[in-house]
Amino acid sequence: MKNRRDFLKGTSVLGGLSLVAGCCDTDMALANNETESAKGFKENLLDCLGGPWPETADLKAKVSKSETKVGYRLEHLDYEVEEGDRVKAIMLIPDGVSVSNPAPAVAVWHQHNGQYNLGKSEPAGLAGDPQHHTGVALAKLGYVVLCPDALCFESRQDPKKKLKGGKYERFEFLEYVIDGKCLAWKNILDMKRAVDYMASRPEVDADRMGCYGHSMGSTHTWLIAPWEERLNVMVGNCCLPNYAAIERTQLLHCYSNFIPGLNQYGDLEDIVSLIAPRRVHVNLGEVDIGTPIPEAKASIVKIASVYKAAGAQEKFTHFIEKGADHVLTDKMWGLAKEAFAEL
């Protein structure tokens, strides 16, 4: 078997195609090759994740409490993602948005940060680091925002109260692996249901939806977007580590980053490339050890080539902030806002 790095360099599924200027037939042939390669990679990705997700069913959504804030209101709610598995979430609805005046919507996937007590409450502005109260910031800009808990965080920690923090996360990851799936498969299922709920709300213009995430939330953005075409704008902040970077730096990352068997078919940049031609913006910090920059730059080149082949090069943008670590800076947030303004 080839060394994995050699394999990635030699047989990556989506990258490496260059358009031949002035030759329409060649351009079309290359674009068709990209499309066929993407189709094959997506099929392999689905197999590695664990296969198809259950059909959408009644969410049985319930709103338990509403709070009035300055410029928006909070709705505490829950909905069913699988039989017996309900997810708690917070929806932020701007003042003036209603059934007769719907607004675009953004799902915000929260970060990891080893803070298992925090999930939806941080982007919803109820706890955590103010720089990551991004749901509030978006609501004040006029977007309906949905902030759900990811499995293992806040309300979704061990219901038996036996395993704490990372131990429960490790247990859930391994449980899915022995069932032939992985934690990323479950994350995608839960996010698909979140989009179902967001689209079901009459206050939401379901043709204008997107998602945002920082850190693990950025990983979740790349995971869900290829499978959820109702999302039109995706912004990921500070997380684009491919397997080559993880292996080189021996990086112990979030379990959602690890999809069994995927390395034989491609890497994270190939997953992000599946989003083309929809809008994607990536923010990275130059000294963020969670996303080693040499490999990230190579990933960006590959993703950009796929967008160019799709005739949508303007739909993929990126920004690497000099000297920045694993943070959301004013410049990064400004670029995120510019992307969402396209909804």
Domains of the chain: 62-340 (3.40.50.1820)
pTM of this structure = 0.90
Percent of the chain with pLDDT over 70: 90
Q: Which of 232, 241, 238 is nearest to 214 (CA)?
A: 238
Mean pLDDT computed over every residue of the chain:
92
Report the pLDDT value the prediction gives residue 14, as an integer from 0 to 100.
Answer: 35
Q: Are 292 and 249 in contact (CB under 8 A)?
A: yes
CA 49, distance to chain mean position in Å, is 15
CA dist., res. 183 & res. 189, Å (int)? 10
Q: Which of 35-44, 166-175, 243-252 has the lowest mean pLDDT?
A: 35-44
Q: Tokens standing for 297? A: 């730059």
The whole-number pLDDT of residue 27 equals 52
CA distance 317 to 312: 11
Quick: pLDDT tens for 51-110: 999 998 899 999 999 999 999 999 999 999 999 999 999 999 999 999 999 999 999 999
Distance CA 325, CA 237 (A): 11
Residues 31 and 235: their CA atoms lie apart, in Å, by 25
Band (20; pLDDT cuts 50, 70, 90): very low
Q: Give which of 91, 166, 160 is closest to 125, Cα–Cα.
A: 91
Residues in the chain, overall count: 343
pLDDT in tens, 214-266: 999 999 999 999 999 999 999 999 999 999 999 999 999 999 999 999 999 99
| pLDDT for the residue 35 | 72
